[in-house]
Structure 1
Amino acid sequence: MIESIRQFDVELFLKIHRGLSNGFFDWLMPLMRNRFFWSPLYVFIIVFCIKQYKKTGLYIIGMILVTFAMGDSISSKLIKPMVGRVRPCNDFHLSNDIIHRVPCGGGMSFPSSHATNHFAIAVFLICVFYSRWKPILPIGLFWAIIICFAQVYVGVHFPVDVTSGAILGTIIGFVCSMIFKKLQPEF
């Protein structure tokens, strides 16, 4: 069972990483996974929360940071060392199949911390703001999904890594939103 999942994961990885290869994605996907590319969005969220919600906005920002810290700690410090899965770009079985679009890095692959962190933040924001602004749902999910897809496309994660990270991040984002709503019931 585990071997068949692993085989499916590798096949799907290659279909995305090599099969969808094109010049536009080669340019776009490294940007989508780059944290500096999203800096204007992060600044917008901070400014919007403070300007629109004042003190409560500061609590929202604080909970976003807590959400990020939880996601990153659980995925990077707890799960990755226990699982110890090698990134596809460092897997010697795939060395002839990898297109090096970004530096590989030396960390472990499972789960994807990018997926965990971005899904955690997206789900937190969706849960907090959905009643006030419905478009947050498709926008937040698209943002997190495109980052996950980019991680596979550039060759630093397998699909199971980003899927597991997305599930973990969703749980963390939901739990943190419930904590926020308990602490700020009037929001």
Structure 2
Amino acid sequence: MWESIRQWDRETFIYLNSLGVEQYDLFWSTVTKIPVWTPLFLFFGFLLFRKYTKREALFIILTILTMVFFVVTLTDLTKEVVARLRPNNDLEINQIIRILRSPSGYSFFSGHASSSFSITTIVFLFLRKRFRWSFLFYLWPILFTWSRIYVGVHFPIDLIVGALVGVFSAWLFYRLYLTIISPYTR
């Protein structure tokens, strides 16, 4: 079974990566960079300060930063333990795929997926009842993670697992905030 999943993962990656069109390379190469999304992070902070008291917003932001540290650490440790080659470094396929970026680290699971889905999910959980359009925040991690296939650095399973880890981590830290921190913010 594991071998059939790996085969599906590899074939799906090759197919999706091959859909890339050169005229969109600049767009996807830009979307995949973290600093490009700084205005969105500032917008998240603005909304949190606007919809919560200053004290609550500060504790929420500290919770989010702690969660990001947790997610990044978990992602890096998992990558070192699993040690799965990225598509761009996989000698079996790197000659037949489009490669726009060439990181040398490991692939499983995607840090872009885990961090973007964790940040988006926890911000969504905090703002869903206070900001009607908060579901639109999910456009960011969808574009951000899809870009990783386009530029040739992650398999679909890397992204799916990363997204699931991110969503679960956000839910966990949100629950921790509600039970441990929230009573002291009022």
Letter in 1 for 2:38: S
Q: Contact 2:110 / 2:162 at 8 angstroms: preserved in 1?
A: yes
CA distance in 1, matches of 2:68, 2:3: 32
Q: Contact 2:51 / 2:130 at 8 angstroms: preserved in 1?
A: no
Give CA-to-partner distance per residue, 1:140-162, whole Å, 9 cap, x none: 22211111111111111000000
CA distance in 2, matches of 1:13, 1:25: 18
CA distance in 2, matches of 1:25, 1:166: 24
The aligned residue for residue 161 of structure 1 is 158
Q: Contact 2:44 / 2:123 at 8 angstroms: preserved in 1?
A: no
The aligned residue for residue 6 of structure 1 is 6
- Give the percent of matched residue pairs that are identical in Structure 1 and Structure 2: 29
The aligned residue for residue 90 of structure 1 is 89
CA distance in 1, matches of 2:124, 2:47: 15
The aligned residue for residue 38 of structure 1 is 37
The aligned residue for residue 64 of structure 1 is 64
CA distance in 1, matches of 2:128, 2:49: 18
Quick one: structure 1 residues 129 and 47, their matched pair in 2 at CA, closer, same or farther if it must change by over 3 Å? closer
CA distance in 2, matches of 1:152, 1:84: 18
Give CA-to-partner distance per residue, 1:110-143, whole Å, 9 cap, x none: 0001100111111111111111123212x12221
The aligned residue for residue 120 of structure 1 is 118
Letter in 2 for 1:91: D
3-state SS in 2 of match to 1:38: helix
Unaligned runs of 5+ in 2: none
CA distance in 2, matches of 1:4, 1:29: 29
Q: Which of the residues 168, 177, 183 maps onto 2:174?
A: 177
Two-structure CA RMSD over aligned residues (Å): 1.7
Q: Quote how far apart the aligned CAs of 1:66 are.
A: 1.0
Range with greater deviation from structure 2 (116-125 or 141-150): 141-150
Give CA-to-partner distance per residue, 1:54-85, whole Å, 9 cap, x none: 111111111111111111111112x1111110
The aligned residue for residue 75 of structure 1 is 75
Unaligned runs of 5+ in 1: none
Q: Contact 2:68 / 2:115 at 8 angstroms: preserved in 1?
A: yes
| TM-score normalised by L of structure 2 | 0.91
The aligned residue for residue 149 of structure 1 is 146
CA distance in 1, matches of 2:21, 2:109: 26
The aligned residue for residue 29 of structure 1 is 28
Give CA-to-partner distance per residue, 1:29-75, whole Å, 9 cap, x none: 11221011001111222234335531111111111111111111111
Q: Which of the residues 107, 130, 133 maps onto 2:131?
A: 133
